[in-house]
Structure 1
Amino acid sequence: MVNPPPEDRDAVAAPAPEVRLRRVRGRFSIQSKLIAMLLGASIVSAAVVGFIGYQTGQASLRNAAFDRLTQVRETQARQFIVQVSTLKKALLVYTSGPAMGEAVQAFGTGFSELANVPIDPAQQQSIVSYYNNDLINPIERATGAKLNLDVLLPSSNAARYLQARYTVPAARPDGSAPAPVPSAWAAAADRYDPFFEKIVGLFGYGDALLIDPAGNVVYSAKKRADLGTNVLSGPYEQGNLHEAYAKAMGADRVDYVSVTDFQTYHPAGDHPVAWMGAPVVAGGRTIGVLALQLPINGINALMTFNGKWQENGLGATGETYLAGADSLMRSNSRLFVEDPQKYQRAVTAAGTPAAIAERAVRLGGTTLIQPVGGDATRAAERGQSGVLIATDYLGQETLQSYAPVTVGPDVTWSIVAKIDTAEAFAPERVFTRTMGVAVTAIVILDCLAAMALAQLFVRPIRRLEAGAQKVSRGEYDDVIPARTRDEFGDLTKTFNDMSRLLGIKDDLLRRERQENAQLLRSLMPEAVAERYRQGEETISESHQDVAVLFADIDGLDALAGALPSDEFLSVVNELVRQFDDAAARNGVEPMRILRNGYTASCGLNVPRLDNVERTVAFAIEMQRIVTRLNAEDDLQLGFRAGIDTGQVTSGLVGGATMMYDMWGSAVDLAYQIQAGGGEPGIYITSRVRDAVHDTHRFTQAGQFTVGDAEEPVWRLLGRR
């Protein structure tokens, strides 16, 4: 008699995971499957349509945002170029007529006459007091720099005279001046002051200077501390005024205008100043230079839209600004104009040194102070135009449109228009929400329709199910009415015929079962036969210190849909063949191969002291095999494996088809950490890590809960 061993009975009591999965899938009704299929098809369709619409809409909205910003930048660049061109043309108009030549000659003659005119000690002291109180002290408070009084004081008698009689009184709060002293210079000033005041006021120039061929500033409309100084040898010989003068004097044509970059200028309170210079020609020779201070207020008004950013399409965070080759601003920041204290906090938090931000607040502007270096300004300096997304000087992610602008023959700046991406892409977020709501509504409607259609579809099946239940109870005489002429109607008729035949065959089977029972009792005792009929046919055995590997190949499902069946099978066979060869080389025993999974162990049937090391080496080789196959066949397969070690149980499972399998906590944990890995790689437990920590590198990849304890998981990085 056949007596099934206890191991077989244990295997039946604990079915394999695949068996459990099939049982779970079998519990779903046809109605549920129909609903799932209908929902799956509708959701996939809605997702595809939504994705295509989202991608198209997003691209359109982003391009529109870039185009709007580029349009603002191009408009500002054109207006700035027109503004600079207008200033140049005005300067050429002023120097082209005889009046400017007469003015240079008149002030030059008057300046020469003042060379020997003395000034009294009180006037000299007034000059010293002016430099200390009105020039040096304010600059030192604003910038922290230390200025040398002796270097700045006028050195020529004419300069001292002019500054005592004009510069010092001009700095007085009431603007009063001492009684005029008759001189050729005073007569020229009476004649030409209104003319130069009109020039300065008409275009907003910061100042107008006349400089003679020797480099003497023989006239200043503002009567500042540069009046009477020499741009070639005086205190400002190293400044950009010297540059503008030298280029204008050396020009070989009368329509030449030299333009300098901004530079701090002591007579202007150390504020940034740029100059435009043009030669003054009389009698075919250059007799001097007219230098006009570039109107920084006009530039700021243009670049800041006079504070009307929103009306010009820049919203709440957009702005345009100019930058020089030194990556410093050449115009004011929008945030500075709106709220200097908020600007100071923002740029300091974004990385600008606190001293620089504080200096901008003290000087009342960001020109030549605020650094704005980045990819946009660097590209513009190379002569490129374009758009990009980058972090700005306020530390915000912004949309930036950039281009170079030519200011003068030797001066090129960058113009940048920017706006925060959060504001620029706000329509994109609204569009995304709208698409999400629309897709969700479609899915909900599809759910309702799927449930209604599925219920209608399975109604005949329910009738057949009720009839089948009666048949299962032995009620073969019940007839189900066929209400339709489709396949369900044919199936109902066939079912009725089957029911009648089953009634006939049931009698035959009853007699055969009685005969089989008698035959079984003749082969084994009744008690054993009863247990055998209950399925106790398992064989099991326990093993200690076994290393278990669960590997999963991601991408095989997608590959199966992309390749013909024979090509796909060839790839899978090659992959399994190489895995088996690697297992043989490492002394690892393959256990089971399931579609995209591979299970192996080491130390199960052949005990080994280094079973963990061998299993880890095998996993690494499997990973290399997948990588190599991807490179050779242009595939995109991923590899993820889990390894644990401990006690396992193995045995035969099944009746007609026997299967050798293993189970236990080590097997379950190896499977769990493989399935739970967040990215491709080899994941190991602490027990495996302790066994190979001297030869391999790894990093912690999370934890799994095993019972009441937390089991840490490690991700293998490679050999040391």
Structure 2
Amino acid sequence: MIMIGLTAINVFSVTALQQYLMYQDNVQTTQASLGALKDAKEVQLEEYFSVINKDIAILAESDVVKNAMQDFGAGWAALGGSQTAQLQKLYIEDNKNPTGQKDNLDMASDGSIYSMVHGKYHPWLHKFLKEKAYYDIFLISPNGDVMYTVFKERDYATNVMTGEWKDTDLGKIFRDVKANPKADYVGFTDFAPYAPSYDAPAGFIGKPLIQDGRFIGALVFQMPIDYMSNLAANADGMGETGASYLVGADHLMRSNFRFSKESTILKEKVDEEGVVLALQGKEGVILTTDEHTGEKAYMAYAPIDFHGTRWAYIVEQLQSESLASYHEV
């Protein structure tokens, strides 16, 4: 009887050990898979940012853009004063295209030097913007005059040093670029509501325009958040409960959340441990409690840095789905 009892205990112990080892193997596999998925998505985001860097570098170094800056300056001066009122009337108020399509006007019919310059350069810059899916492109003079924009909103023809929008991120990025007049400098402001665009989330990236060693103005792109959000939140390979998203230093989401019916961009705050760790520059995989469901979830986290701005990138999946194969056994 004793031998039978000992044999039963040994069998039980071996079975329990096998189950434990199987569970640990499953956990390690899950963590590795989630980490690999995070790495793959992180590469996609970094490739997107690399394209943006190349786009603005190419335009800032282009003779076409530098000549445009000089020509718009001449046209601006020839208007003789009250440029904001004159140009907003020509290219916004009297522009027959509806709001959101004011960029379809190549040249106003006033016969001014400015409008001739606009007719020369706008089709090229407009095409570039459409092909690259930027929201807007700005040419800003050394003293802060927004001498040209593609999209034609209320920031057009204003001054970002002294005017209505001087305290917006467009004013901030211009002052940053003006303070760093070096050909290789790139400035960036994180996504935030932008009043001239009806408070749509906008990020700005800018470079100095340098000609013969002189700062002749700033080239600025207004970046829409939708493409970045779609990349970050892509659910491919995430299963039924998985989600991925970006979070800013203010802990507000910079992408939409897969399971939310409403937009979460700049609205939903995330204070989970993985976010805190990623914003500290760390990366890894942890088991945590999901804020949305209250259930246990595996969370892969990593920092993503872009010109001085850091975001936390999160990829998570509920533990119940991650370890489903183990529980089936």
**2:135 partner SS:** coil
**1:255 partner SS:** coil
Q: CA deviation at 1:366?
A: 2.1
2:237 aligns with one of 313, 331, 337: 313
* Larger Rg, first or second structure (1 or 2): 1
Relative contact order, higher structure (CA 8 A, sep 6+): 2
Query: What is aligned with 1:166?
Result: 91
Contact 1:167 1:227 in 2 (8 A): no
Distance 1:225 1:173, change over 3 A: closer
Instruction: Please give the TM-score of this superposition, normalised by the length of structure 1.
Output: 0.43
Distance 2:87 2:100 in 1: 19
Does residue 387 in structure 1 map to residue 312 in structure 2?
no
Query: What is aligned with 1:358?
Result: none
Does residue 412 in structure 1 map to residue 310 in structure 2?
yes
Contact 1:62 1:428 in 2 (8 A): no
Query: What is aligned with 2:249?
Result: 325
Contact 1:98 1:282 in 2 (8 A): no
- Aligned-residue Cα RMSD (Å) equals 2.1
1:366 aligns with one of 264, 278, 284: 264
Aligned pair count? 324
Query: What is aligned with 1:213?
Result: 142
Distance 1:220 1:185 in 2: 13
1:104 aligns with one of 66, 69, 74: 69
Does residue 402 in structure 1 map to residue 301 in structure 2?
yes
Does residue 94 in structure 1 map to residue 59 in structure 2?
yes
Does residue 245 in structure 1 map to residue 174 in structure 2?
yes
Distance 1:198 1:173, change over 3 A: closer
2:274 alignment partner AA: A
Distance 1:296 1:417, change over 3 A: same
Q: CA deviation at 1:45?
A: 2.5
**1:256 partner SS:** coil
Contact 1:260 1:274 in 2 (8 A): yes
Contact 1:212 1:287 in 2 (8 A): yes
2:169 alignment partner AA: N
Does residue 194 in structure 1 map to residue 123 in structure 2?
yes
1:299 aligns with one of 204, 228, 237: 228
Distance 1:239 1:390 in 2: 38
Q: CA deviation at 1:294?
A: 2.0
2:34 alignment partner AA: L
**Which segment drifts farther, 387-396 or 257-266?**
387-396
Distance 1:267 1:171, change over 3 A: farther
Does residue 289 in structure 1 map to residue 254 in structure 2?
no
**1:335 partner SS:** coil
1:271 alignment partner AA: A
1:334 aligns with one of 251, 258, 262: 258
Distance 1:190 1:68, change over 3 A: same
Distance 1:205 1:392 in 2: 34
Contact 1:261 1:274 in 2 (8 A): yes
Distance 1:392 1:159 in 2: 51
Distance 2:162 2:293 in 1: 44
From the two aligned structures, give the one with the greater helix fraction: 1
Contact 1:230 1:237 in 2 (8 A): yes
What is the 5 A alignment of 1:393-472? 393-397=291-295, 398-408=297-307, 410-431=308-329
CA shift digits 1:127-169 (9 cap, x unpaired):
xxxxxxxxxxxxxxxxxxxxxxxxxxxxxx2112222222233
Distance 1:222 1:173 in 2: 8
**2:154 partner SS:** coil
Distance 2:282 2:19 in 1: 32
**1:294 partner SS:** strand
1:158 alignment partner AA: Q
**2:217 partner SS:** strand
Does residue 51 in structure 1 map to residue 19 in structure 2?
no
2:249 alignment partner AA: A
What is the 5 A alignment of 1:549-698? none
Distance 2:321 2:167 in 1: 45
* Structure 2 alignment gaps of length 5 or more: none
Distance 1:390 1:61 in 2: 17
1:331 alignment partner AA: S
2:238 alignment partner AA: L
2:42 aligns with one of 70, 73, 77: 77
1:272 alignment partner AA: P
1:228 alignment partner AA: A
Distance 1:393 1:111 in 2: 54
**1:238 partner SS:** coil
Instruction: Please give the TM-score of this superposition, normalised by the length of structure 2.
Output: 0.92
Contact 2:201 2:224 in 1 (8 A): no
Distance 1:425 1:174 in 2: 51
Q: CA deviation at 1:87?
A: 0.6
